[in-house]
Structure 1
Amino acid sequence: MVKLIPISKSNPQDRVAENKYYAQVVSSGKTDLERLAYLVANQSTVREADCYAVILSLLHNIVDELKQGKIVKLDKLGSFQIGINSDAVETAEEVSANIVNNVRIKFRPDKRMKNSLNIKTVDFTINQSA
């Protein structure tokens, strides 16, 4: 069940307009790597420690592949790719690694994953406060 709370927001295009209310998701906790390893182990014949080790190795290798400029595609999950922010320069000749000021990981979920999480598959409940 996904919890929602009402949030009052102003219209950035009309600052004098009255605020309106929108639904906002409230997190119900976090799931960490150990919990995922536990869940996978209980759904298979693989031990929890082995699951944990495999997931950690997968994370390490995803980062290594991203550092080589590759897109990492995990079927049924999605694709990871490096994204950057950079300063603007006047000419193509001025473009260099020195103008990069932020690196991030972009994730694009696989079509099947996207389709498995939609308005028809999620149950919502309203909380009046966080």
Structure 2
Amino acid sequence: MVKITPISKSNPQDRAADNKFYAQVISSGKTDLERLAYLVAHQSTVREGDCYAVILSLIHNIVDELKQGKIVKLDKLGTFNISVSSEAEETADEVTANSVKDVRIKFRPDKRIKSSLNIKTINFTTSDKV
């Protein structure tokens, strides 16, 4: 069950307009690597410590591959890639590594995950908590 709460937001293109209310998800907690390792271990014959080590290794290798400028595709999970924000330069020749101001990791879920999480597969309930 996913809890939602109404949140008031202004229209950024018309600040004079009245605020409208939109649904916002309320997190019900966090799941960390240890919990994922525990869950995987109890769904297989692999020990929890081994699962944890494999997940940590996977993360390490994803980061290394991204640092090499590669797109990392994990079938049935999704695709990771990096994007950058940079300063605007007057000419193409002025764009250098020093122009880069921030790096982000982008994730695009695989079709299977996307189709598993949709309006028809999630039960929503409202809450007053923000």
Query: TM range, normalised to the smaller chain?
Result: over 0.9
SS at match of 1:82: strand
Cα offsets for 1:40-81 (capped at 9, x unmatched): 000000000000000000000000000111000000000000
Residue 13 of structure 2 is matched in structure 1 by 13
How far off its partner does 1:16 sit? 2.2
How far off its partner does 1:98 sit? 0.5
The residue correspondences of 1:33-52 to structure 2 (distance < 5 A) are 33-52=33-52
Q: Distance in 1 between the 2:99 and 2:13 partners?
A: 32
Residue 127 of structure 1 is matched in structure 2 by 127
Aligned residues: 130
Q: Which runs of 5+ in 1 are unaligned?
A: none
Residue 90 of structure 1 is matched in structure 2 by 90
Residue 115 of structure 1 is matched in structure 2 by 115
SS at match of 1:3: strand
Q: Which runs of 5+ in 2 are unaligned?
A: none
Q: Distance in 2 between the 1:91 and 1:14 partners?
A: 35
How far off its partner does 1:10 sit? 1.5
RMSD: 0.8
Task: Give the counterpart letter for 2:125 in structure 1.
Answer: T
Taking every aligned residue pair, what percent have the same amino acid on both sides?
77
How far off its partner does 1:13 sit? 2.1
How far off its partner does 1:15 sit? 2.0
Cα offsets for 1:24-53 (capped at 9, x unmatched): 000000000000000000000000000000
